[in-house]
Chain A
Amino acid sequence: MPPPSRMLLSGDEAVALAARDAAVALGTGYPGTPSTEILEAFAGLGCHAQWAPNEKVAFEVALGAAFGGARALVTMKHVGLNVAADPLFTAAYTGVSGALVVVSADDPGMASSQNEQDNRRYAVAAGVPMLEPSDSQEAYDFTAAAIEMSERWKLPVLLRLTTRVCHSKSIVHPHEIPGPPAPPRFERDIRGRVMIPAYARPAHRRLRAKLAEIERWNESSPLNRRIDGDPAMGIVASGVSYVHAREAAPHASFLKLGVTYPLPMELIRRFAAGVKRCVVIEEGDPYLVESIRAAGVSVEGKAEMYRFGELNVARVRRILAKDTSPEPAPPAGKPPQLCVSCPHRTVFEVLRKLNCIIAGDIGCYTLGVLPPFEAMDSCVCMGASIGVGLGLRHVLPPAEARRVVSVIGDSTFVHSGITGMVEMVYNPPATGHVLMILDNGTTAMTGLQEHPGTGRTLNHEPTGRVVFEDLARALGIPHVDVIDPTLDPAALEALLADRLACGKLSLIVTRRPCLLAAGRIKEYERAAAGRESCETSAAQGRTDGE
């Protein structure tokens, strides 16, 4: 059956479809809004997709696949690239044999994130080419283009998306994408891939030479487009900002940039010279405007107030009108909250009752900071609860130190909490410490994804499981308890009070499935049990037949 010629897809789905059409061999990543749906859609298309414990591991797995000559995709939200930054920077030196597309899904306006960092800076810092699609069609086209560029220049390529590109749906016309030039095979390249200083020094020069070549190519790349309109007003834009600007200034001339690193500076210079007023419209940091000005091209940027939050048509109109009057605040909606009967509720009630100082972490349970609980004192990044809790314990007076608890979710613990637990064993505070893993059996916040602690793969098939309490015991933590917080809140309170007082290291796992996931988890378990009994009887059938 031929594929449909016209589809309504989110940007995330479009990336997945392009990856499928390009025969990407492996997609890996860690769930994070707004990137999560890419791998789910890729798996739904029958392709090989898997969740890694965190973005660094995901990146390394994808890099290995690309060293092996395959096409690989790794997906993450913007803060995930901080975790994966270590391999990113050196992978720019080693380059790849196949293709490696790194998706960074940024969240300007922080719809569901702890910061609004602008990851276009990573392309510059690491020295990897960057593409920025504006809608789902471009998400499809640019994924294919990123693969082509990655194979041509043997470099990882950053596909930088934002929330409105990831989650907006628009029309996509899929097309033929050429397949990989050769099947995966290992080719030894010690000087190219073993980054000891002696081999890394020439590798850095190779990288800069490649980037210079890409810059020349980008001057005439079809991924950048000029739309000639009124020469009185010229707008340089990329990503979703471009469509806002087209709507805000329909008659203006446009230079729409698809490849935003390395920048096609001569193209920009010619465009700016041909218009009376040249304005750069970009969301977030003044990345384009600073780069263009540094090249000696005079362009207008936006007022500092528009650095914060997302852009939209109204804000672009204001930027073009140089309007810096205060913006009307949108009426407040109803804030999210922990579900009624959520197992986390009991935990935060107990923590509050015992007057704990709570080093918190990232997940649904971060909502424990809101009334009526207000039971969280810090939330910084994935896994920070443990280190921050330990730091507080080390310096606070003993009476206060004994109130400090680190609270982390199950998926977050696997992501970045294990090394924190090792630190706890290695540098125990004088008052001991209490670590609580709120284990609801899923990555709830991002929409119920599996993780290594659930013992099921991305496709919900059984696999190896990391058992938190076993891990803690193996590390030598003296008190390790597992308790159902909903079943007996009084028992949880008594246990926590005791562990806070004992002065030793303690792990309490509060284990009860997320209400939203419980039904599905039972289904997965039933399906797995059914398959297992089929396999057993099939195996017996074979034995009997011999």
Chain B
Amino acid sequence: MANKVVNVVIAGLGGQGVIKASDILADAAFRAGYDVKKSEIHGMSQRGGSVTSDVRFGEEVLSPMVPTGEADFLVAVAADQVESNRHQLRPGGVLLTAERIDETALANRRSLNVALLGALSVHLPIPEADWLEAVRANLAPKLHDANLQAFELGRSAARSGKV
């Protein structure tokens, strides 16, 4: 990964845990020893509008924002946010959507954001232990079980080629 920065854009709607997901991803990359930057716009976004958050990690990250058309991964928590963010992806970039995650299998449906991180995790050079620590560190203890389950669900769905 020398000098290569990994660019991830997470998109969804206010209240879907987009920023929480990017906090967890940034923290996992941080724990794995990378330079990390993460950026988003707060404020009006919490009123149900579109929210995106950028996470970049690698040896050295400069701008906190993923340059348009340079995202390696676009993670869409809301299906209707795919089209408005597709331009963020580089040619050959990977789109991850909630479509192929079995939401009925989630212990808590609000953990869809973390299930998508599980699906993303198989593509990224971050050890599983750092992911799990990051999930725990960024959520209240009472939410740990449901979210660890969601992470595992997304991870195995991706491993079996469903996502």
- Residues of chain A touching chain B, judged by Cβ–Cβ distance below 8 Å, are 8, 33-34, 111-112, 135, 163-164, 167-171, 240, 243-244, 246-247, 312-314, 328, 330-339, 364, 367, 445-447
Among listed B79-87, B91-99, B151-159, interface-contacting one = B79-87
Q: List 10 A-B contacts (CB under 8 A).
A: A167-B39, A168-B64, A169-B26, A171-B30, A247-B67, A313-B63, A334-B49, A334-B50, A336-B46, A339-B48
Q: How far is the CA of A332 from the CA of B13 in the complex (A)?
A: 13
CB of A227 to closest CB in B, whole Å:
12
Q: Is the CB of A164 within 8 A of B64?
A: yes
Contacts A8-B36, A243-B62 given: A331-B83 contact, CB under 8 Å? Answer: yes
Task: Report which of B14, B63, B83 forms a contact with A336, defined as CB distance below 8 A.
Answer: B14
- Do B43 and A112 touch across chains, with their CB atoms under 8 A apart? yes
Which chain B residues in 20-64 approach chain A with CB under 8 Å? 23, 26-27, 30, 35-50, 52, 61-64
Whether B64 pairs with A243 at a CB distance below 8 angstroms is yes
Q: Is the CB of B42 within 8 A of A167?
A: yes
* Residues of B with C-beta under 8 A to A247: 62-63, 67
Q: Which residues of A contact B84 (CB under 8 A)?
A: 330-334
Q: Inside 8 A of A331's CB, which chain B residues have their CB? A: 83-85, 87
| Neighbouring A residues of B62 by C-beta, 8 Å | 243-244, 246-247
B108 within 8 A of A: no
A135 to B64, CA, bound (A): 9
A243 touches B38 (CB 8 A): no
Q: Give every chain A residue within 8 A of B52 (Cβ-Cβ).
A: 333
Find out whether the CB atom of A335 lies under 8 angstroms from the CB atom of B64. Answer: no
A495–B82 CA distance with the chains assembled, in angstroms: 46
Contact of B43 among A34, A240, A243 (CB under 8 A): A34
Chain B interface (Cβ < 8 Å from any Cβ of A): 13-14, 23, 26-27, 30, 35-50, 52, 61-65, 67-68, 80-81, 83-85, 87
- B41 contact set on A, CB distance < 8 A: 111-112, 163, 167
Question: Closest approach, in angstroms, between the C-beta of B110 and any C-beta of chain A?
Answer: 15
- Whether the pair B63, A312 counts as a contact (CB closer than 8 A) is yes
| A168-B39 in contact (CB<8A) | yes
The interface residues of chain B lying within 8 Å CB-to-CB of A330 are 68, 84, 87
CB distance from B106 to the nearest CB of A (A): 23
Contact present for A8 and B48 (CB under 8 Å): no
Interchain CB contact under 8 A, A243 and B49? no
Q: Given the interface contacts A330-B87, A331-B83, A336-B48, does A314 sit within 8 Å of B42 by beta carbon?
A: no
**Bound-complex Cα distance A430 to B83 (A):** 54
Query: Would A312 and B67 be within 8 Å (CB), given that A33-B42, A164-B39, A168-B39 are in contact?
Result: yes
- CB contacts (< 8 Å) of B49 on chain A: these are 333-337
- Least distance between A75 CB and chain B CB atoms (Å): 15
B48 touches A337 (CB 8 A): yes
Residues of A within 8 A of B81 (CB): 333-334
Decide if B42 touches A313 in the complex (CB within 8 Å): no
Please, which residue of chain A has its CB at the minimum distance from the CB of B29? A8
- Report A-chain residues with C-beta under 8 Å of the C-beta of B50: 333-335
Which residue on A lies nearest to B30, using beta carbons?
A8
CB of A523 to closest CB in B, whole Å: 14
User: What chain B residues lie within 8 Å of A334 (beta carbons)?
Assistant: 13, 48-50, 80-81, 84
Bound together, the chains give a CA A152 to CA B48 distance in angstroms of: 47
Q: How far does the alpha carbon of A112 sit from the alpha carbon of B81 in the complex, in Å?
A: 21
Q: Return the contact of A168 from the options B30, B37, B47 (Cβ within 8 A).
A: B37
Q: Shortest distance in angstroms between B95's beta carbon and chain A's nearest beta carbon?
A: 15
CB nearest to B44 among chain A residues: A336
- Which residues from B are CB-within-8-Å of A336? 14, 44-49
Minimum distance in angstroms from A338 CB to a CB of chain B: 7
How far apart are the CA atoms of A246 and B62 in the complex, in Å? 7
CB pair A111 B64 closer than 8 Å: no
C-alpha spacing A111/B47, complex, angstroms: 13
Contact A170 B42 (CB under 8 A): no
* Contact A111–B44 (Cβ < 8 Å): yes
Which has the most chain B C-beta neighbours within 10 Å: A169, A244, A314?
A: A169
18 new A-B contacts, CB < 8 A, other than A334-B80, A447-B42, are A33-B42, A112-B43, A164-B65, A167-B42, A168-B37, A170-B37, A240-B64, A243-B62, A313-B63, A313-B65, A328-B87, A333-B84, A335-B49, A336-B14, A336-B44, A336-B47, A337-B49, A445-B43
Nearest 8 pairs of A and B residues by beta carbon: A333-B50, A112-B43, A336-B49, A336-B47, A168-B64, A247-B62, A168-B39, A313-B67
> Beyond A8-B26, A313-B67, A333-B84, is A169–B47 a contact (Cβ under 8 Å)?
no
* C-alpha gap A163/B40 in the complex (Å): 9
Bound CA–CA A34/B62 (angstroms): 21
A380 to B64, CA, bound (A): 31
From A313, which residue of chain B is reached at the shortest CB distance? B67
Give CA–CA (A8, B38) in the complex, Å.
10
A328 proximity list for chain B (CB < 8 A): 87
B90 to chain A, nearest CB (A): 13
Q: Is the CB of B61 within 8 A of A367?
A: no
Kindly state the separation between the CA atoms of A64 and B87 in the bound complex, as whole angstroms. 51
Q: Are A364 and B67 in contact (CB under 8 A)?
A: no
List residues of chain A with CB within 8 A of the CB of B43: 33-34, 111-112, 445-446
Closest A-chain residue to B87, C-beta based? A331
How far, in angstroms, from A168 to B39 measured CA to CA in the complex?
4
Q: Which residues from A are CB-within-8-Å of B80?
A: 334
Asked whether A447 lies within 8 Å of B46 as measured between CB atoms, the reply is yes
Q: Chain B: which residue is nearest A334 at the CB level?
A: B50
Residues of A within 8 A of B35 (CB): 170-171
Q: Which residue of A lies closest to B65 (CB)?
A: A312
In contact, B38 and A168 (Cβ under 8 angstroms): yes
Chain A residues with CB under 8 Å of B27's CB are 8
Bound-state CA distance A3–B30 (Å) is 17
Chain A residues, CB < 8 A from B13:
334
Residues of B within 8 A of A112 (CB): 41-44
**A229 CB to nearest chain B CB (Å):** 14
Nearest chain A residue, comparing its CB with the CB of B68: A314
Given contacts A333-B49, A333-B81, contact A170 B64 (CB under 8 A): yes
Chain B residue at smallest Cβ distance from A241: B63
Cβ–Cβ < 8 Å partners of B67 in chain A: 247, 312-314
Q: Which of A34, A135, A170, A447 neighbours the largest number of chain B CB atoms within 10 Å of its CB?
A: A170
